[in-house]
Amino acid sequence: MSEKIRRISIDPITRLEGHGRIELFLDEEGELADAFFQIPELRGFERFCQGRKAEDMPQITERICGVCPEAHHLASTKALDDCFSATPPPRARKLRELLYNAYIFSDHLLHFYYLGGPDYLVGPYAPPQERNIIGVIGKVGPELGKEVIKHRSYGQRIIEAVGGRSIHPVTGLPGGQSKAINEEERSEIEKMARSCVEFGRVTLSVFKKMFLGDKTYQKFSQEKAQRLPTYYMGLVDEDGAVNFYDGKVRVVAPDGEEFALAEGKEVLDLIAERTEPWTYVKIPYLKEVGWQGFRAGKDSGIYRVGPLARLNVCKRMGTPLAQVEYEAYLDYFGGGMVHATFAYHWARIVEMLAAAEQTTRLVADPELMEGALRSELSDPGEGVGIVEAARGTLIHHYLLDEKGLVRSANLIVATTHNIAGISLSIKEMARAVVHNGEVDQGILNLIEMSFRNYDPCLACATHAFPGQMPLLVVVRDSAGREIKRIER
Amino acid sequence: MEKIKVGIYWAASCGGCDVSLLEIDEQILDVAAKADFVLWPCAIDTKYADLRAYKDGSIDIVLFNGAIRTEENREIAKLLRDKAKYLVAYGSCAQMGGVIGLANLSSRKEIFTTLFGAKTHWPKEESNQDGYPLHLPAFLDRLLPLGDVVEVDYVIPGCPPPREMVSQFFDALLGGKLPEKGAVFAAEKNLCDECPRERREERITRIVRPHEIEPDPDICLLDQGIICMGPATRGGCGAVCPMANMPCTGCAGPPANITDQGATMLITIASLIGTGLEGEEELEAEEAILAEIDDVIGTFYRFSLAASIFKGAHRE
Amino acid sequence: MAKLNDNGFEPKIVAFLCRWCSYAGADLAGVSRMTYPANIIPMRVNCSGRVDAGMVMAAFEKGADGVLIGGCHPGDCHYVNGNYKTRRRVILLKRALAEVGIKPQRLHLEWISASEGVKFQRTVTEFTGLIKELGPSPMSGDGED
């Protein structure tokens, strides 16, 4: 590296889940030469899941992430349903959905107020010591602050009632659930869920006041460079509505045209992955479109997942209040596809409201309170389970042997799909805000704000296993020149 | 009154321990009133450069969660030991390696081959991209608990530590009443002591896996043939897993005075297995019951492999 | 007297012997001037059932290439059923050893009574021979990990 190149590290990146580092390289004029988003963590779940008992997988894989364990728990449980050719009875299914919607509500709330939100709720240029949940409570006041804490706790209590524990639930089994809820619990959940719907509406008005009212947010949500015309992926039900728990995976092109509608193993066939030597995470892309480098467009296989994506692939929200908010959101961005990365925050709380509404629906369903909890299992085999984690499409794929032990596990985890998008967003933001070599903590925070849109979960991201998928290897010499390209 | 300086750090972690600190709900406001969070990458914008600039011993207490999996984890563990007055191993991974310790059953080469394929695709500690030098911390050959790298003052066990224990810990911290060094914030006795299920203490005449039966909600799971780690696991969590009709998997680690959790559970099961009769004629039947146990290490050492006597695999 | 092997490897074998039967059998072998390899490190325990899993693991961890447990014949245990527990324990221990990559044959359980000096001699000789063939344990520091 030339002596005139200056390197700036943001290490570690903060207010997200997981370990990450951003390396910025400035040229002689002090403009951005390049930016790298590195993930320095790895734990190897796909390897040590081999040889484990199948029914242990929901509890083992949920330790991929303690912020979204419910997502792994349910993707895993659904994969086991498939492995044992079992359809859970309606009561078990609805219990799972109840837990799951409460989780989505709780996780989105966490991100808005604790992780990504402080940048706007306190302000992007606020001193670092204030840009956090404590600062948020200081700014919005103790009354709202207590409501934040209370409603996150409501989400957690619902998870605990159905799942046995509020972090790392235990009740998922192939073909059903290990326990039900009683009437007292149901009644408590109903009260909490209604309050969560109300709080969803409150959060949307906080958003409109403090995000849409913030000049930085307005700027970056409108700026062309912050609009990435990528493909999008998400689950939709048979009405084309957002469904976090179940449905078909729909992929749309940047112009909104349907690219794919798939379920089960077919979804895995859509995706290829590449490795880079400077990060422990793998980078997925749409196999058919191909990898064209870190750029967005119809000819580039980069796609995104999560709230922004789901609101692009769906035709509607599944619940009435969220539907109204969804229409207002589309309207603000001019109708049609929303490519503005900063729209993630808004899409996220529309979903938070939708999840709360869905929780009120499920808790009132009489099928929740009577009937079998478990169904018959057939011999163990191969299976796929797909859910929408808060951060995006989550796929668990297992191959079991005849004793029901895991022969291999293949996981494609929400944030992994977004790695290319995140890298692109970081680079675009760095290019926009770094000039003349001037870099202060506010400017560096703006760069971090570009990834916080995605609500990344990096402990999750470093778990993707290509299986038999093709890989692209680019071999470079010590000067960085490409000398060979191998595709398998 | 000067605020207590609190640091929270995650090494090879899932983030669940960080979220568990929020499970105390409004009590976090009391904590925030009396303490300054000087490090908490999940929630606060302190960077490594800021941490390195802190004076040694200037952080009153550091809650360290996650296991030592990379060189960076090890380096920061040592740095935090210097910067902290008290260092707490918070959660199962810091205490004994956790579930991710099961990676010690494989070599680094096996792990990387499964994850990345051929060696040419592996991430590298030093690489050069378009002329820019980039560094990744090394993936250690073995995952280690925190205590294998630095001296630990307190342990708060659990995956993650339960709300009650976190609350009790903060009460002690803010009240200036931390116990003697070496204390573990959990019950002294094993989980069976607080589990409300009825113990019949019968011999285990069959082994079944949780999805093979619908267990009686009131009777001890071991009595019904489901392997429950309760006898070899510290209590203090309210036995929430058995209450959800699922067996304890051992996340809080062994009770006091037991060093190898899996070894203890192994001999417990061996003692309990039986047909009801004893004698040479029963040996074949006993063998048949034992043969129904699958994945011995994954069952008995789910959370504790990295802290066990063997620590992991030693392939011939 | 130990015979030197071709490759010069002399295994270290820890032998847990119950005082009522196997240890007495070992004494009988000694008093009768029977020769057997000097590779074993005998440890007397009150009952083979005293040998818990941790002891066996610790023996391997500290460098034993093989572990031998000697107990009373079924029906003869001084404490009635200690040896039955030992037997079940060893079955599970062998599974654990195999799962961590250590050959389960490195752990061996034999019923040797107080009058079976010859059996003691034969057991130790055969087991030492087996371990020599298997080579050093991967935990002994001589083998590769």
What is the per-residue pLDDT across A245-263, written as a single tens digit (0 to 9) for each? Answer: 999 999 999 999 999 999 9
Instruction: Say whether residue C103 is in contact with chain B using an 8 A CB cutoff.
Output: yes
pLDDT at B105 over 70: yes
Query: pTM for the full model?
Result: 0.95
Domain match, B156 and B40 both: yes
Alpha-carbon distance B57 to nearest alpha carbon in chain A (angstroms)? 21
pLDDT at A239 over 70: yes
**Residue B314 domain-assigned (yes or no):** no
Range in B27-31, B66-70, C7-11 the model is least confident about: C7-11
Percent of chain A residues past pLDDT 70, beyond the cut: 94
What is the rounded CA–CA span in Å between residue A426 and residue A448? 7
Contact between chains at B310 and C57 (C-beta distance less than 8 A): yes
Contact between chains at C138 and B316 (C-beta distance less than 8 A): yes
**Residue B297 domain-assigned (yes or no):** yes
Interface confidence (ipTM) of the complex: 0.97
Total tally of structural domains belonging to chain B:
3
Residue among B184, B196, B201, B188 nearest B238 (CA): B196
**Residue B316 domain-assigned (yes or no):** no
Q: Which chains have at least 3 CB atom pairs separated by less than 8 Å from chain A?
A: B
Contact between chains at A170 and B244 (C-beta distance less than 8 A): yes
**Residue C145 domain-assigned (yes or no):** no
Q: Where residue B202 falls among pLDDT bands split at 50, 70, 90?
A: confident
pLDDT attached to residue A488: 42
Domain match, B234 and B263 both: yes
Domain match, B262 and B299 both: yes
Q: Which residues of A touch B122 (CB under 8 A)?
A: 275, 277
Contact between chains at C92 and B270 (C-beta distance less than 8 A): yes
**pLDDT, mean of residues A379-406:** 97
- The hierarchical CATH code for the domain A45-461 is 1.10.645.10
Domain match, B117 and B228 both: no
Tokens at residue A344, please? 């993630």
Domain match, B162 and B276 both: no
Q: Where residue A476 falls among pLDDT bands split at 50, 70, 90?
A: low
Q: What is the CATH number of the domain that holds C107?
A: 3.40.50
**Where in the sequence is the domain holding B129, given as residue range(s)?**
107-135
**Residue C4 domain-assigned (yes or no):** no
**Residue B165 domain-assigned (yes or no):** yes
Instruction: Say whether residue B276 is in contact with chain C using an 8 A CB cutoff.
Output: no
What is the rounded CA–CA span in Å between residue B131 and residue B235? 55
Domain match, B129 and B153 both: no
pLDDT at A471 over 90: no
What is the rounded CA–CA span in Å between residue A248 and residue A270? 13
B244 vs A110, A171, A457: nearest CB: A171
Instruction: Give residues with Cβ within 8 angstroms of A224, minimum separation 6.
Output: none
Percent of chain A residues past pLDDT 90, beyond the cut: 90
Residue of B nearest to C58 (CA): B309
Tokens at residue A13, please? 């990146």
Domain match, B26 and B167 both: yes
Domain match, B73 and B212 both: no
Q: Where residue A463 falls among pLDDT bands split at 50, 70, 90?
A: confident
**Residue C62 domain-assigned (yes or no):** yes
Q: Which residues of B touch C75 (CB under 8 A)?
A: 279-280
**pLDDT, mean of residues A68-78:** 98
Domain match, B15 and B150 both: yes
**Residue C141 domain-assigned (yes or no):** no
Tokens at residue A188, please? 């408590």
Peptide bond preceding C42 in cis form (omega within 30 of 0): no
pLDDT at A51 over 80: yes
pLDDT at B20 over 90: yes
What is the per-residue pLDDT across C63-87, written as a single tens digit (0 to 9) for each? Answer: 999 999 999 999 999 999 999 999 9
pLDDT attached to residue A474: 58
**Residue C2 domain-assigned (yes or no):** no
**pLDDT, mean of residues A313-318:** 97
Contact between chains at B270 and C100 (C-beta distance less than 8 A): no
- Where does chain B have alpha helices with state H? 16-20, 27-34, 48-53, 71-83, 92-96, 108-116, 163-174, 240-243, 261-272, 283-290, 296-300
Contacts with B, C 83-102, CB within 8 Å: 84-85, 87-89, 91-93, 95-96, 99-102
**pLDDT, mean of residues A446-472:** 76
Specify the 3-state DSSP secondary structure of C10. coil
Q: Where residue C6 falls among pLDDT bands split at 50, 70, 90?
A: low
**Where in the sequence is the domain holding C126, given as residue range(s)?**
13-134
Of the CA atoms within 13 Å of residue A437, those in its CB half-sphere come to 8
pLDDT attached to residue C2: 46
**Residue C40 domain-assigned (yes or no):** yes
A46 vs B115, B160, B299: nearest CB: B115
pLDDT attached to residue A245: 97
Domain match, B261 and B292 both: yes
Is residue A204 exposed (0-12), middle (13-18) or buried (19+ Cβ within 10 Å)?
buried
Domain match, B111 and B255 both: no
Which of A60, A125, A168, A412 should we substitute to test contact with B (largest number of B Cβ atoms within 10 Å)?
A168
Three-class secondary structure assignment of A220-262: HHHCHHHECCCEEEEEECCCCEECCCCCEEEEECCCCCEEEEE
Task: Kindly give the interhelix angle for A344-363 and A320-332, rounded to the nearest 10 degrees.
Answer: 170
Indicate the domain borders of chain A.
Answer: 45-461
What is the per-residue pLDDT across A83-142, written as a single tens digit (0 to 9) for each? Answer: 999 999 999 999 999 999 999 999 999 999 999 999 999 988 899 999 999 999 999 999
Do residues A60 and A79 touch, judged by C-beta distance below 8 A? no
Instruction: Give residues with Cβ within 8 angstroms of C117, minimum separation 6.
Output: C25, C26, C28, C29, C31, C32, C34
How far is C-alpha C114 from the chain's CA centre? 16
**pLDDT, mean of residues A359-383:** 97
Residue of B nearest to C137 (CA): B316
What is the per-residue pLDDT across B112-140, written as a single tens digit (0 to 9) for each? Answer: 999 999 999 999 999 999 999 999 999 99
Range in A431-435, B44-48, B200-204, B308-312 the model is least confident about: B200-204
Contact between chains at C96 and B262 (C-beta distance less than 8 A): yes
Contact between chains at B42 and A15 (C-beta distance less than 8 A): yes
Instruction: Say whether residue B210 is in contact with chain A using an 8 A CB cutoff.
Output: yes
Q: What is the CATH number of the domain that holds B45?
A: 3.40.50.700
How far is C-alpha B122 from the chain's CA centre? 28
What is the per-residue pLDDT across A250-299, written as a single tens digit (0 to 9) for each? Answer: 999 999 999 999 999 999 999 999 999 999 999 999 999 999 999 999 99
pLDDT attached to residue A399: 97
Total tally of structural domains belonging to chain C:
1
pLDDT at A470 over 60: no
Instruction: Say whether residue C6 is in contact with chain B using an 8 A CB cutoff.
Output: no
Residue among A130, A168, A118 nearest A16 (CA): A118
Q: Which residues of A touch B135 (CB under 8 A)?
A: 278
pLDDT at C4 over 80: no
Q: Which residues of A touch B312 (CB under 8 A)?
A: none
